[in-house]
Chains A and B, each alone.
Chain A
Amino acid sequence: MRTRRLLLALLVAVGLTAAACSDSDNDPSVSSGDGDATTTTAAGEVVGAPISFVPLDPGAVTFEALENGDVDMALLFSTQGVIAEKGWVVLEDDMTLQGSDNLIPLVRTEVADDTVTETLNAVSAALDTETLTELNRRVDSDKEDTEAVARDFLTEAGLLEGDAASGGASLTVGSANFSEAEIVAQMYTLALEHAGYAVELKAQLGSREVLVPALESGEIDIEPEYLQSLLAFLDENTESVTPDEGVALAADLLPDGLSVLEPSPAQDQNAIVVTAETAEKLGLTKVSDLKQVTDALKMAGPPECPERPLCIPGYEEVYGLQFDV
């Protein structure tokens, strides 16, 4: 009897200790390090406490986390319509970490015959950043279907005029796991179908790490890409380039069998976004302002952010920010 009681007491004690030692407020994203202390970087600057990173899939879950104050800032894409809608503040990329992330089709060279190239380039040319933003808003906030929204755009741009052709080859279009990629992939699909191809759309496949190998293996033939980010993925030491430079560089860096077509004027880059209240409270207008903040902040972003040159590693290197990853 006594041994049993003793053991039970021990278990309870261990349990309580474990609970006490776990993260404060059951908050998974607060690092167990110092809250308000500042640290000194190698360059001798005094910076704020490390920023906690909360991995969340891009999209409405992240918007909500920012809205609710579960996080102080979020790594979003500059074309997400909700930013303007909510009056959020995009911190200016004053040290130009993000280059020209123009939308650009990445294709298997083998399938890029003249018609495919023409069709996709026409779609790219017709897009601009504002339109992209509005389309995103319709899908993420108004809950419209990506296909409907893509079709509307193509119709208005006059890209679906005339009768649809037929008899073309089979193609597969893939997209990454966020709304904008799916919208653009839908555009490619609809436009190519109109041009006579039999197109299968595989949407929401994952991130670049899934898609590029899928292209190489032939599982998909075409996917919408972002020039600067693609280059950074292929070679993490790439510098910011203009679209033309980027296309030339891509030809070098891409593995055999893959090529990019023409870049679109529409751009979408990573953007650190805060609510208007936070911007005012902490005096933030540009990314380098974050260095002066001593409060411990929380940032939401896609799970792969710690591994992307244009995401956390980029912000650490170029801006000297510290993340607790």
Chain B
Amino acid sequence: MGWFVGAQPWVDWTWVADHRELILDRLREHVELTLVAVVIGILIATPLVLVSRRWRGVYPVVLTTTGILYTIPSLALFTLLLPWTGLTRTTALVGLVSYTLLILIRNAVTGLDAVPADVREAAQGMGYSRGRALVAVELPLALPAIVAGIRLALVTTVGLVTVAALIGHGGLGHLILDGLNRRFRTPLVVGSVLSVALAAMADVVLLRVQRRLSPWKAGG
């Protein structure tokens, strides 16, 4: 059990040194896919959030649609996109972006809704237009929740990218997949450790941003 090809070390450092470039390439691909997906997610989510706040009837629809996209297993979603966009990066991105939408929209709307009614009324009383009130008053107060959403989106996207290796664009997931196919520990360990580190880093950095934006809260 586990000793099939002779005792393998968990990390063969020679292999790591020899494949430095491959590892860095995959790391770069992973970071790129994650950032691009979340940025596109934010770009799509923003108008949806604004529309949801303006016309409350829209929110349930938006929530349900993105919610459904959510329960579709990632592997299935990627696979179903193949006929449309082929084994390209676009397929991976479309799938990844879909999963960020629910997180981003839900957190933003919840954050904006949490702005106390008196604050909103005060802004209105001071003659702020709807738009100005949003930008100058509500947004800053909702920022911690919005950032929390971005944080969550980033961390989960890092994980989803690994699965995208099965459709050819999975960054560090390819190292993990190689480890699976060849029962080869080194790329598995390297790929896994790096993805966890990437996710952890994204989490910590954004957590700090989140805390800075809400100094009055003890945490989160």
Q: Which residues of A contact B (CB under 8 A)?
A: 57, 59-61, 63-64, 67-68, 139-141, 143, 145, 177, 179, 202, 204-205, 210, 214, 217, 219
Smallest CB separation, B200 vs chain A (Å): 28
Residues B183 and A139 in contact, CB atoms below 8 Å apart: no
What CA separation (Å) do A145 and B87 show in the bound complex?
23
Q: Which 7 A-B pairs have the closest CB atoms?
A: A60-B183, A59-B181, A60-B182, A64-B4, A143-B184, A67-B4, A141-B5
Q: Which residues of A contact B15 (CB under 8 A)?
A: 143
What CA separation (Å) do A217 and B83 show in the bound complex?
11
Q: Which residues of A contact B181 (CB under 8 A)?
A: 57, 59-61, 177, 179
In the complex with contacts A67-B4, A205-B168, A61-B183 CB distance below 8 A:
yes
Q: Which residues of B contact A63 (CB under 8 A)?
A: 4, 183
Q: Which residues of A contact B5 (CB under 8 A)?
A: 60, 141, 143
Smallest CB separation, B13 vs chain A (Å): 14
Residues B87 and A64 in contact, CB atoms below 8 Å apart: no
Q: Using an 8 Å CB-CB cutoff, how does the interface string of B1-37 with A read, 1 for contact, 0 for none?
A: 1001100000010010001000000000000000000
Return 8 A-B CB contacts under 8 Å, by A number. A60-B4, A61-B183, A68-B1, A139-B182, A145-B19, A202-B87, A202-B168, A204-B168
Smallest CB separation, B103 vs chain A (Å): 30
Q: Which residues of B contact A (CB under 8 A)?
A: 1, 4-5, 12, 15, 19, 86-87, 168, 177, 180-184, 186
What CA separation (Å) do A217 and B84 show in the bound complex?
12
Q: Which residues of B contact A179 (CB under 8 A)?
A: 181-182
Smallest CB separation, B79 vs chain A (Å): 10
Smallest CB separation, A91 vs chain B (Å): 22
What CA separation (Å) do A59 and B19 show in the bound complex?
21
What CA separation (Å) do A107 and B182 show in the bound complex?
28
In the complex with contacts A60-B183, A61-B180, A214-B87 CB distance below 8 A:
yes
Smallest CB separation, A159 vs chain B (Å): 24
What CA separation (Å) do A269 and B19 show in the bound complex?
32
**Residue in chain A with minimal CB distance to B2:** A64
What CA separation (Å) do A61 and B15 show in the bound complex?
21
Smallest CB separation, B142 vs chain A (Å): 39
Q: With a 10 A CB-CB cut-off, give which of A60, A63, A219 has the most chain B CB atoms.
A: A60
Q: Which residues of B contact A67 (CB under 8 A)?
A: 4
Smallest CB separation, B83 vs chain A (Å): 9
Smallest CB separation, B180 vs chain A (Å): 7
What CA separation (Å) do A52 and B181 show in the bound complex?
22
Q: Which residues of B contact A177 (CB under 8 A)?
A: 181
What CA separation (Å) do A67 and B1 show in the bound complex?
9
What CA separation (Å) do A137 and B155 show in the bound complex?
38
What CA separation (Å) do A68 and B2 show in the bound complex?
9
What CA separation (Å) do A205 and B165 show in the bound complex?
10
Instruction: Identify which of B4, B87, B180, B183 contacts A205 (C-beta below 8 A).
Output: B87
**Residue in chain A with minimal CB distance to B22:** A145
Q: Which residues of B contact A219 (CB under 8 A)?
A: 86-87
